[in-house]
Structure 1
Amino acid sequence: MPADRKPFRVLFVCMGNICRSPAAEIVFRQQVDAAGLNEAIHIDSAGTIGYHAGKGPDPRMADTLRRRGYVIAGRSRQVTTDDLRDFDLLLVADEENLADLHRLDRSGAHREKIRLLVDYCIEKEASHVPDPYYGGQHGFEEVADLVEDACQGLLDSLKRQIG
């Protein structure tokens, strides 16, 4: 990447930032690393609520990803209005998260860069990434499957976009 070019900044958002959005951050970070694009793409995640701020990913989500070969890292934080300005793309897990970010974006100036993560799915069809928090292991596997698919589609899209 040319020295004068800023990295493309992607923020993954769910409600608590302990299951879905950190899973997307972890998966996408590994995909970006494997593609040799660490300098070109900056990745983070956040939650629409700050209840879990400072905590790591949910242990069940972490175990699911670890079994798939991912390195678990990151701490929960709440999304801010600065994030709306600072990130080039904000990808949310579901319609409720989408509505929350639209409310945070009072002026509507950043609406075009707030999208559903599943919009990037290649093989899976889903209207949203379901919250696995109150369910069993199957829910965490479903989240991992959707996130892996969507992140691959996102990476393919960004490769075309950032060259």
Structure 2
Amino acid sequence: MKVLFVCLGNICRSPAAEGVFRLMAPDVATDSAGTGRWHVGEPPYGPMQAAARARGYELSDLRARQFVVADFDRFDLIIGMDASNLANIERLRPVGNDTPVHLFTDYTAGSDANEVPDPYYTRDFDGALDLVEHCARGLATTL
């Protein structure tokens, strides 16, 4: 199984999701990407790395990359952090491709969250990580 986590810039939410999920489900291959290209080649945002490290997640080995059409063939499941990410992903979907694309919050039982808010803008890195951990636990139980 190969899972791709996608957000806007690939410096906060999707690398955090990748870092959390790879510890929860070490037998699942993971990667992360952004729908935008502003941060390609950069490590995750410093405050997100610090918040993740405080919880035992190491993100420093990750580097931002942009989501590409070939990702539909490379991954068994693509997870977006919000509806805008999903729309951007779906715009690139090749005709006839059936790779599942879901919101990360689809995996949150008992939560009313419909997206993972972007801590780059909200500055709530711990709140984003709380939700990422909750979603990752839910996803791990479905695979």
Structure 1 length-normalised TM:
0.83
| 1:26 equivalent in alignment to 2:16 | no
User: Which runs of no fewer than 5 residues in structure 2 stay unpaired?
Assistant: none
Partner of 1:3: none
Verify the 8 A CA contact 1:117 1:128 in the aligned structure 2: yes
Shift of 1:106: 4.4
Q: Which residue of 2 aligns with 1:148?
A: 133
Runs of 4+ in 1 over 6 A off after TM superposition: none
Query: Structure 1's 108 and 20: CA in aligned 2 closer, same or farther, altered over 3 A?
Result: farther
Segments of 5+ residues of structure 1 without an aligned counterpart are 1-7, 159-163
Looking at structure 2, the residues matched to 123 and 140 of structure 1 have their Cα atoms a distance apart, in angstroms, of 21
In 2 relative to 1, CA 156–107 (structure 1 residues): closer, same or farther, beyond 3 Å? Answer: same
Q: Which has the larger radius of gyration?
A: 1
Displacement of 1:135 in angstroms is 2.6
Sequence identity (%): 44
Tell whether 2:30 aligns with 1:43. yes
Matches within 5 A, 1:50-69: 50-69=37-56
Deviation at 1:132, TM superposition (A): 1.2
RMSD after superposition: 1.3
- Paired with 2:109 and 2:129, the residues of 1 have a C-alpha distance of 14
TM-score by length of 2: 0.94
Instruction: Give yes or no for the alignment of 1:87 onto 2:75.
Output: yes
